[in-house]
Structure 1
Amino acid sequence: MVVAIVIARVTFRLPSLADRPASSATKTATSGPLLKPVAHLLEEHPDKSGVYALSSGLDAFGARGLLAREAAQSLDVQYYIWHGDLTGLLLLESLREAAERGVTVRLLLDDNGISGLDPILSELNMHPHIEVRLYNPFTLRKFKMAGFLFDFLRLNRRMHNKSFTADGLATIVGGRNIGDEYFDTGSQPMFLDLDVLAIGKVVRDVSADFEKYWSSASAYPLEFIITESVTGGDELDHALWEISKSAQYDTYKKRLSASAVVNDLEAGTLPLEWTEVRLISDSPLKTLGKAKSDQMLIGKIDKLMDDVHSSIDVISPYFVPGKQGVEEFAALEKKGVEVRVLTNSMSANDVKLVHSGYAKYREKMLKAGAELFELKAQHSPPDNSRDAGIAGSSGSSLHAKTFATDEERIYIGSFNFDPRSMQLNTEMGFLIESKTMARQLKYGFDETLEDIAYRLELDDNHQIEWLDRSASGDAQRLDVDPETTRAERIVVKLLGYLPIQWLL
């Protein structure tokens, strides 16, 4: 076995980056459609950033599409997952259209989340104004996941960052990947998620962060990894033609045209909040296991926790605090800080293995004084309205990663409170000084969670109960994970015994 692994690693080793083309950093555009409606705002707020929370998936997709359509100089795009479905193909088309106008497009994708897209990405990479790079790539393409068998420690570290930056003027950063389930369409269960649209000072920091990843030792030009030639030259057009025949295509196009956020953004009338915004992110050296403590996002979050005085409201779809996390939350409670956490219930969690890591800390968190809420599983799409709230409305599965402290500041980004985000994957997000956004999150906990989530409590025997309040206000107490089978609960419990918490 050891000999086979060594042979495989030698045979399928990564290519040299010695011949990787140099790439100049993005410069902020001095003209173009994106600049014109906001130029006066940028002059009025030279040292601040204007932000707007995108809680609706429809608006989040439309905003990305608008940035691509109106970009005049550059598009720097960085994602963990990019699906070849309706929204994924439409955004690839928008990048290609921008390149046809002469816009320089740089697309950096984690190679773990682009299943089936090799031919389309290869075709796009041939365009003179598009360059695609794969982050921490798999050298084995046809049986991709088999790469874990001989190169697990490297491939287990992924780039979880998500950003979409146009002309160095506007960016979207948050929790959404690119795929129908993130943008309120399709037949798959929807994700509740959250992004932030930003213009102003912080955009320069996002561009600089992108440059670090683009030029890092883990970013490989696509042609170095995917060597098969593209013969047809119409891979994207064919995929778009196939999907354009669907009812989903027509319906979504009509819904997009009615997006008030997109219309306001195009007109320059979107109600941005101008405030202090700080990008916090991991160094790409984390992928190589070489990042120092001051180069990792978790250290910055730990320092932020030390400054919490009265309250912290956390939304994390994958919440695995571990022993240290429980102790830190307990310490906050002891000094009078109210700790509240919303995560997925077992029935709503799309990764049961991660839920097993969380479940064994629920009792300890409750005993420490924290309040725990678990999102109910729903089988209808979430509310697509513009005023759905900063945490959205009830949907199939929670995916937003955000927390607010002291009703004064809020973090929105890609970081989960789990070992994978802390130690393995690279992450990024915005820390925003905003009483408005922080209080919106607090309001969500105060006023809406009883409708969309179970509240966990300990009974007299210190056993967990799930409190389920109906619309009429009546409460039902459940003594097992709601909407699950006995078999599911047994499997999750058994998974919890596995020594794999560091992977979750």
Structure 2
Amino acid sequence: MASPLAPLGGYRLWMIALLAALLQGCALPPLDGRSESMALSNAEAAATRLGRALNEQVQAHPGESGILPLAEALDSFAARMLLVRAAERTLDVQYYIWRDDITGNLLLDALREAAGRGVRVRLLLDDNGVAMDARLLALDRHPAIEVRLFNPFSVRQPKALGYLTHFSRANRRMHNKALVADNQAAIVGGRNVGDEYFGATDGVLFADLDVLAAGAVLPALSADFDRYWASASAYPIDRIVPATSAVPAPTTRTEDDPRAARYLQALRESRFVADLLAGEHLPQWARVEMVSDDPRKGLGLAEREDLITHQLQQVLARPPVASLDLVSPYFVPTAAGVDAFSRLAARGVRVRILTNALEATDVSAVHSGYARYRKELLRAGVELHEMKRGAQPQGGRAGVSGSSGSSLHAKTFAIDGRRVFVGSMNFDPRSAHLNTELGFIIDSPVLAQAVTQAFDRDIPASAYEVKLDESGGLVWIERREGQALRHTREPGSTLGRSAWIGLLSVLPIEWLL
């Protein structure tokens, strides 16, 4: 007599066979025969138009880098377009997110135009942050352009299947953001490529910060791009995306999109580029050290000393003695971070932190990872500020189409009003342990004090200050037209959302945030 469990045994075998076939089908192709390329040598880079234009200032500041902050959304996009159009030999471009929208396509058009005049373009994108296979594959077919995808998903639709079949790898993303022209000038910071980062949307605008850089740090930045480009996680797009996906890639037709036309008109009317070329925007020349994760972190193979967290500890070996002002849109301090901030506050260091309020965040799960630590941080003497959704912070004006509000996206911190970090790294476990990150430590009192002054002057008007009341509960202080309004319920919360945040805060997901 057959066992009643026999059908279940056959079912399990069938499921195992199906899973094995699925895993085999999701395997990535080999990297054998992948083309090799490198950034321009210092001598080649110095001979370009950009090199000749920058030579006098570079020679006048040996060992230093010129840094120009880009806080305005429109100015930051204009600076990218300027670098792409100024490039003569090479463009090395690396981003986590690249949207198929107005600014994303305008910048792709500019890269294609640069390739048309003989510029070699290398475009490295994290595969989780792009959804335009056909357009990118068509771009890759240009003889002067090569597109690679970092930690790609072999199944293109739905990509989320990769999280089921290869979670450990798929959960590790390249969060770096950099654009390098001729190994002479670059933009590094927190912005991805998309309308919400550059003020071309009537939705929420991300308030962010980039820097335009030239000088001594450029060779290190280009070398870092080279190692990512040659890493075991960087796959030529034509090995991942089927050839049948390619479609012609026409330039953006602004007459078909009034929003695109308005944005281009705003770019033309912007004084930023003209003023920059006329010498009105002078960079701060300072010692700059680049910190960056080893790309092997994308496969979970990087050594501790090759992680950005370790490099930051080495560069910042001298701890703050007076102040630490930190801005992180996704702030999950963990118990270790709370302990570190508490020890600083106990030594008399003024610790101020700005992150998104619940009403402004775009990732509720991350907010839950922060909310659980608020009371402990406040009891230790740490000052907490949460950016309001409707705020228009200094330098982050609304978009051309009329933004419906802002969400903080800048990642920066200043120590003792002397040193400042600008880059892609959030203060959360994901940036520390999972995603790859990139940033600059800038030894500049002028730039560091700008962050400190923002906490003194601008942030009070655009953020809630979180405090403890007499009974130890949380209150949110909002300053509006000279008045201090006191909220005893978290702004933006509803009964359902509060319950969801509460549930997330007790789940063992902190390491993913």
Task: State the TM-score bracket (shorter-chain normalisation).
Answer: over 0.9
| Native 8 Å contact 1:192 1:398 kept in 2 | yes
Q: Report the residue type matching 2:194 in the other structure.
A: G
Q: Helix, strand or coil for the counterpart of 2:362?
A: coil
Moved more, 489-498 or 52-61: 489-498
Q: Which runs of 5+ in 2 are unaligned?
A: 1-14
Tell me which residue corresponds to 2:221: 206
Deviations 1:157-195, CA, capped at 9 Å, x for gaps: 000000000000000000000000000111221000000
Residue 483 of structure 1 deviates from its aligned partner by: 2.5
Residue 381 of structure 1 deviates from its aligned partner by: 9.6
| Native 8 Å contact 1:51 1:196 kept in 2 | yes
Residue 26 of structure 1 deviates from its aligned partner by: 2.8
Q: Report the residue type matching 1:263 in the other structure.
A: A
Measured in 2, the distance between the counterparts of 1:247 and 1:394 equals 18
After TM superposition, list the pairs within 5 Å mapping 1:38-437 onto structure 2.
38-115=54-131, 117-229=132-244, 232=247, 234-237=248-251, 240-241=252-253, 244-303=255-314, 304=316, 306-378=318-390, 395-437=405-447
Q: Report the residue type matching 1:44 in the other structure.
A: A
- Which of 486, 491, 498 is the aligned partner of 1:482? 491
| Native 8 Å contact 1:37 1:267 kept in 2 | no
Measured in 1, the distance between the counterparts of 2:81 and 2:68 equals 16
Q: Report the residue type matching 2:351 in the other structure.
A: V
Equivalences, count = 492
Q: Helix, strand or coil for the counterpart of 2:160?
A: helix
Residue 248 of structure 1 deviates from its aligned partner by: 1.3
Measured in 2, the distance between the counterparts of 1:425 and 1:20 equals 24
Q: Helix, strand or coil for the counterpart of 1:108?
A: strand
Q: 1:421 to 1:305 in 2, by over 3 A?
A: farther
Moved more, 21-30 or 124-133: 21-30
Tell me which residue corresponds to 2:7: none
Q: 1:68 to 1:193 in 2, by over 3 A?
A: same
Q: Report the residue type matching 2:168 in the other structure.
A: L
Tell me which residue corresponds to 1:389: none
Tell me which residue corresponds to 2:12: none
Q: Helix, strand or coil for the counterpart of 2:143?
A: coil
Identity %: 46
Measured in 1, the distance between the counterparts of 2:445 and 2:459 equals 20
Measured in 2, the distance between the counterparts of 1:244 and 1:412 equals 37
Residue 370 of structure 1 deviates from its aligned partner by: 0.2
Q: CA RMSD in A?
A: 1.9
Q: Report the residue type matching 1:342 in the other structure.
A: L
Measured in 2, the distance between the counterparts of 1:37 and 1:267 equals 12
Measured in 1, the distance between the counterparts of 2:350 and 2:242 equals 55
Q: Report the residue type matching 1:9 in the other structure.
A: L
| Native 8 Å contact 2:411 2:423 kept in 1 | yes
Q: TM-score by structure 1 length?
A: 0.94
Measured in 1, the distance between the counterparts of 2:458 and 2:39 equals 44
Measured in 2, the distance between the counterparts of 1:364 and 1:104 equals 52
Q: Return the index of the structure with the highest Cα Rg.
A: 2
Measured in 2, the distance between the counterparts of 1:270 and 1:372 equals 33
Q: Which runs of 5+ in 1 are unaligned?
A: 387-392
Residue 385 of structure 1 deviates from its aligned partner by: 6.3
| Native 8 Å contact 1:58 1:384 kept in 2 | no
User: Structure 1 stretches (4+) deviating beyond 6 angstroms?
Assistant: 379-382
Deviations 1:344-389, CA, capped at 9 Å, x for gaps: 0000000011101111011111111100000011187986669xxx
Residue 45 of structure 1 deviates from its aligned partner by: 1.5
Measured in 2, the distance between the counterparts of 1:173 and 1:244 equals 32
Measured in 1, the distance between the counterparts of 2:263 and 2:512 equals 37
Q: Report the residue type matching 1:128 in the other structure.
A: P
- Which of 3, 6, 18 is the aligned partner of 2:32? 18
Q: Helix, strand or coil for the counterpart of 1:173?
A: strand
Residue 259 of structure 1 deviates from its aligned partner by: 2.6
Deviations 1:22-49, CA, capped at 9 Å, x for gaps: 2233334233442343221112123110
Q: Helix, strand or coil for the counterpart of 2:458?
A: helix
